[in-house]
Chain A
Amino acid sequence: MSPMAPPAVGPVRIEVRGVVRREDFTLRLDTAISEERTAVIGPNGVGKTTLLRLIAGLERLESGELKIDGRVVDNAGSVFTAAHQRSVAVAFQDHRLFEHLRVVDNVAYPLRRAGLKRAAARNRAGDYLAAVGLSEAAMVRPAQLSGGQRQRASIARALATPARVLLLDEPLASVDDQSREDLRDLLTSTEHRTVVWVTHDPDDARYADTTLTLTSRTLNRASSQP
């Protein structure tokens, strides 16, 4: 589905050891994500979203080091690779669609940034919209979509982003049961080399190779699926 992503040569290894301090909590991390499909679970407010934001480059380490594919992208000091240079795609829990653009142009946005011309980007965006079952809404503005449709549009945009790593924050929380099954298949079959998937749904976690459990603001090591 994403012919512009680098060829699949196994998962991208993400190693993080360090501390993120936010206004309301401190997250201590010491883990490595090395499987293709990793589910992140844990109670509310434990820092699952913060972990994704850290990997995406939207949050900085206060101390420690974050490596993606062996390269240091954040060392809490001199090294910080900005989000737009990390080759990481994100589907946000709150969707974050660009309200001034049509749905198809939201999905085409990352393709345009990758250098595609408008028509080609729209064309390919149409494929991703079809994959999430949103073809009929391509030409409307996001404001006209339902919550579930917005979520699917945001998934389509993340899938369209040519990146090595795909980060999903509760991607299926507001879609109906029927679409959920289809979307799970879609998300697990994406050509992104590594998918990190924050979820509350045990069924989602079952699709992953590995489950990472966050407890009491400390990220434990990954435990392999039984």
Chain B
Amino acid sequence: MIRLPRAPLPLLVPAMLAVALLVVPLIGLLQRAPWSSLGTRLADDAVLEATRVSLIVSFSAAGLCLLLGLPLAWVLARVDLPFPRLVRAVVLLPMVLPPVVAGAALLFALGRRGLIGQWLDSWFGVTLPFTTAGTILAATFVALPFFVTTVESALVAQGRDLEEAAAVNAAGPMTAFATVTVPSIRGAIGAGLALGWARALGEFGATITFAGSIGGRTRTLPLQAFLALESDPESAVAISVLLLAVSLGVLVGLRGRWLTR
């Protein structure tokens, strides 16, 4: 038996409407899903290729989140920065920035004529737009704040106590970080990685703006789904169901364990 707490109607009704708003589109998607041919549609060459690109891009982005985001989270949590609110806002910005704006910004910075891109091109012959590397950068740009905020809040909650204990046990700052700080927040690091990975997997707007939609190189699953929507809607629905299942799986896996501390 589910025990329902007595909720006043003026709260209950809007709450139910909100749930409906979130759930109805998903039902709409699921009722259109070609369940009997789901397997063959997902095994289609174009879809498989997009899956390959998506896996490379999302795991590379998660790796970059760990490599760059873990130090960033530590700095945000432990260092007295000038203008802390502004710094934090900049780090969180990709969460609320329209992805198209993000893609355009990446283009103006790292495009062949961009701020840094022109030097990358003329000095090293490195071109990022319309490449898999560019796709990874776009995905990392949008995924990073999810990782950083998850890890940073764990670091803030933990405080400096254990790092102090490591210091008086003759551990230098890097040793303390590696042997005490990181292992004691490994749950949050895992949660941040899962969230960042899922966000990278679903990335669309920044990718299409910065890296385009080139089969086998920059066309990830969401781009493939968008492309298929015109020509082969059932394939688009099949990809959507797959992405929905993965996203839901990540959140259900994390529920209550790390997201709420």
Contacts and interface: CB of A to CB of B under 8 A. Distances in A.
A92 B172 contact: no
Contacts of A99: 184
Interface stretch (A108-116, A172-180, A201-209, A215-223): A108-116
Given A99-B184, A113-B175, A88 B165 contact: no
A110 B170 CA distance: 6
Interface in B149-167: 161-162, 164-167
A92 B165 contact: yes
5 pairs of A and B residues whose beta carbons are closest in the complex: A83-B167, A96-B165, A110-B169, A113-B170, A90-B168
B180 interface: yes
Interface of A: 56-58, 82-84, 88-90, 92, 94, 96-101, 109-110, 113-114, 157, 161-163
A54 to B, nearest CB: 13
B212 to A, nearest CB: 45
B183 A113 contact: no
A161 B161 contact: no
Contacts of A101: 183
A61 to B, nearest CB: 17
Given A96-B161, A113-B169, 14 more contacts: A58-B167, A82-B173, A84-B166, A84-B167, A84-B169, A84-B172, A84-B175, A89-B168, A100-B183, A110-B170, A113-B170, A157-B169, A161-B169, A161-B170
B165 A84 contact: no
Nearest to A163: B170
Interface in B180-211: 180, 183-184, 186
Contacts of B105: none
Contacts of A94: 161
Q: Does more than half of chain B's interface fall in helix, strand or loop, or is it mixed?
A: helix
A153 to B, nearest CB: 12
Contacts of B175: 84, 113
Contact of A84 (B171, B183, B186): B171
A114 B170 contact: yes
Interface in B229-253: none
B161 to A, nearest CB: 5
B168 A109 contact: no
Contacts of A157: 169
Contact of A100 (B170, B176, B184): B184
Contacts of B162: 96, 98
Given A98-B180, A98-B184, A84 B164 contact: no
A171 to B, nearest CB: 14
A88 B168 contact: yes
Contacts of B173: 82, 84
A164 B167 CA distance: 15
A84 B168 CA distance: 5
Interface string B54-84: 0000000000000000000000000000000
A174 B164 CA distance: 21
B27 to A, nearest CB: 43
A92 B171 CA distance: 16
Nearest to A109: B169
Contacts of B186: 100
A163 B167 CA distance: 12
Nearest to A101: B183
Contacts of A90: 165, 168
A58 B179 CA distance: 19
A144 B120 CA distance: 55
Nearest to A161: B169
A83 B184 contact: no
Nearest to B160: A58
29 contacts: A57-B168, A58-B167, A83-B168, A84-B167, A84-B172, A84-B175, A88-B168, A89-B168, A90-B168, A96-B165, A97-B165, A98-B162, A98-B180, A99-B184, A100-B183, A100-B184, A101-B183, A109-B166, A109-B169, A109-B179, A110-B170, A113-B169, A113-B175, A157-B169, A161-B168, A161-B169, A161-B170, A162-B170, A163-B170
**Residue among B167, B169, B180, B183 with the most chain A CB within 10 A?**
B169
